[in-house]
Amino acid sequence: MDALGWDSCDIIIVTGDAYVDHASFGMAVLGRTLEAQGFRVGIIDQPDWKDKSNFEVLGKPNLYFGVTAGNMDSMINRYTADRRLRHDDAYTPGELPGKRPERAVTVYSQKCKEAFKDVPIIIGGIEASLRRLAHYDYWSESIRRSVLLDSTADMLMYGNSERSLIEVSHRLANGEKIGDITNVRGTGFLRKKMPEGWDEIDSTRLDQPGRVVPKKNPYEYVNEDDKPEAGAEQAVKIIPDIGARQTDPERSFIRLPSFEQVRKDEILYAHTDRIFHKETNPGNARALVQRHGRNDIWLNPPPIPLTTEELDWVFEMPYQRVPHPKYGDARIPAYEMIRFSINIMRGCFGGCTFCSITEHEGRIIQSRSEKSILDEIEKVRDKTPGFTGVISDLGGPTANMYRLNCKDKKIEETCRRPSCVYPSICSNMQTDHSHTTQLYRKARDLDGVKKIAIASGLRYDLAVEDPEYVKELVTHHVGGYLKIAPEHSEDGPLDKMMKPGMGTYYRFKQMFEKFSKEAGKEQYLIPYFISAHPGSTDKDMMNLALWLKENGFRVDQVQNFYPSPMATATTMYYTERNPLKPVKKGDGEIVFSAKTKEQRKLHKAFLRYHDPDNWPALREALKRLGKMNLIGHGKGCLVPPETRREIEARKRNHRMKNTGAGKKFMHARTQHTGLPYNPDEQKKRQKPSGNKPKATNGNSKTGSSAKRTPLTKVKKSKTKR
């Protein structure tokens, strides 16, 4: 600030990530775009939330605090899918854990209020975006309120918010109060009473019993009356100027069941999820309202996607593409991963139920121009330290959705399908990958570029529609292995994930092997799978394990399903119903979910069928499923039978658990060592260092009554033993 001659900042952004001035980091994008609009922007990165002075270091902002947890949800950043603490943080220098609080948006906002009570607070980013309404919280196993209430923020912005933030910033600079700014898309705020002249629509009108979705397409809107008329005009005008004032949405809003209702009624929670996901298209979405006690949470329709010219403008800001120099040489893994990568697009129309990209970025693909992308590659080549000629990725949320959009703009603006590719690829969706293929070729031809790798997730059901693209990819952009994500082998779980069947995988595999052979390369597909996903039973996991063994795969790392806020699969996990397929009472198809620690551990064990530590649990499961024929040494067996040593150990453990002598022994051992005895654990236990004596007096006895005295204690005693 001193170097720039600033006496104050207009806007201060507080973030849970280390500050990396790169277009893959949200706070850098917003900081640069606001700076280009003439605002003085400061950033406070990873402040100590226990000390108010950390939020006062840049003084009082003239307009507002912008608060974000960072590129990751703070709870997912802190805990694994099994609710265990992570030991590192990819967005922190040195990978140090604990540099951000749990529920960072709430904690940071409250501290900003404590530091400057009269300064408005706007929250955003992935954490705020996915908690904008009442939501299931996996870590507390409860329904939590909108983060707007818990954080005491004045406004919430969801999705990619450059357009919204620029408009709100200019209006605040022009003297408007933040409480009066209620017509900006992509924003949410509290309301005491509803505005006059607006029509209220009860959400149950859109989801009535008896009005079941047609069998031909089970993913269209439930209420037939809600379909737009043929040739209907666009409801909301698109303003091409990224910083211009936007028009009000339609003067109608949908009232969802209240927080108190969804907290008590799982069916209403599933209903709310269904309506919410039908109102994500910017072309036809209406405002959503949900009661929380005495207040209403009001969500305006989603932001209008940026045009190619606008997206180019955002990515052409003067990013330095390096972490802030104050971190020195400390390694930031998240930066290392994207250091030599190029983001070519935003959004995803896949609609996978376990993924939150649709809820955050939307289904409409926003693509950069070829020139903008190629110019950035040259900047990486010329200015990024350590560049060796390899671009590590040319992609986005999905590698091969670049410039794939609906063929008809009017159809796109009226569609309510949650996925453009499930249960089958929509006939109105473009599948021509020629733009992507052409981009790959031009990028490879740039001077100083040796290789362009594709590391983003690949949607192979789209890729098989364009063999020329697959050939280009396999011939030039695969470095021996290509990672893809079938996620499962069985139709039941795949249906709940909204993923294609294995038939598409085999088609892609055939193309991959054919083009690899033609290129004279030995290359392999590495499939990814999810365990314990809603809809996946023990039998489904057993069949997946058999598929893995039959195809020669030994999975090294396994991802258990992680119920992130507001994802459709999370609703299935919590309610055990499928909100995408309402039945007569509107409560949804019943879905099995592995919730207990034992169930989730077993599903994970099936994917690692080759690990001897998992064999006892798998044998028990196979016996329960009536599949004893899968236990043995034959080619079709999943796990080997018990060895003599395992049988003796199992019997010994049984005696320890169930006989009086065994229980007496366990009690005596616990008294002696201070450690609980678990006969199921075959691994050797080690005493914690705090319980281990440093030395003995050389005269200790053996047996359960022996007392060990540290050497230091003996020296202080005058009594001889």
Q: Residues at the annotated binding site?
A: 348, 352, 355
Q: Residues 251, 257, 259, 263: what is their CA dihedral angle, to the nearest 10 degrees? A: -160
Known binding residues for [4Fe-4S] cluster: 348, 352, 355
Separation of alpha carbons 422 and 275, rounded Å = 18
CB atoms within 10 A of CB 350: 24
Helix axis angle for 660-673 and 644-658, nearest 10°, is 90
Tell me the C-alpha distance between 372 and 119, whole Å. Answer: 38
Token pair recorded at residue 16: 């849970």
Q: For tokens 């790392």, name the residue.
A: 557
Paired sense of beta strands 187-191 and 295-299, if any: antiparallel
How far apart (Å, rounded) are the C-alpha atoms in residues 300 and 280? 11
Question: What is the H or E stretch that residue 645 is in?
Answer: helix 644-658
Distance CA 61, CA 81 (A): 38
Instruction: Please give the C-alpha separations between residue 334 and each of 46, 73, 126, in angstroms, as whole numbers.
Output: 15, 14, 16
Contacts (Cβ under 8 Å, ≥6 apart) of 293:
259, 260
Contact status, residue 650 vs residue 617, Cβ threshold 8 Å: no
Tally helices (H) and strands (E) across the chain: 25, 23
Interhelix angle 615-624/538-550, nearest 10 degrees:
120
Phi, psi of 397 (to 5 degrees): -55, -35
**Residue 254 backbone phi and psi in degrees, to 5:** -100, 125
Alpha carbons 276 and 254: distance in angstroms, whole number: 10
What is the three-state SS of 125-172?
A: HHHHHCCCCCEEECCCCEEECCHHHHHCCCEEECCCCHHHHHHHHHHH
- 187, β-bridge pairs: 157
* Structure-derived torsion over alpha carbons of residues 613, 616, 618, 620, reported in degrees to the nearest 10: -160
The Cα–Cα gap between 369 and 307 comes to 10
Tokens of 496: 């709940």
SS3 497: helix
Work out the number of other CB atoms within 10 angstroms of the CB of residue 488. Answer: 27
Tell me which DSSP letter residue 428 carries: T
Cα–chain-centroid distance for residue 327? Answer: 27
- C-alpha to C-alpha distance for 423 and 591, rounded to whole angstroms: 18
Tokens of 384: 């990024």
Q: Are 314 and 162 in contact (CB under 8 A)?
A: yes
Residue 15: CA count within 13 A, CB half-sphere: 26
Residues 201 and 252: beta-carbon distance below 8 Å? yes
Token pair belonging to 70 = 């960072």
Query: CA-to-CA distance for 663 and 655, rounded, in angstroms?
Result: 9
Task: Compute the distance between CA of residue 371 and CA of residue 584 in angstroms, rounded to an integer.
Answer: 53
End-to-end CA distance of the chain: 72
CA–CA dist 475, 479 (Å, integer): 10
Q: Which of 347, 364, 253 is nearest to 300 (CA)?
A: 253
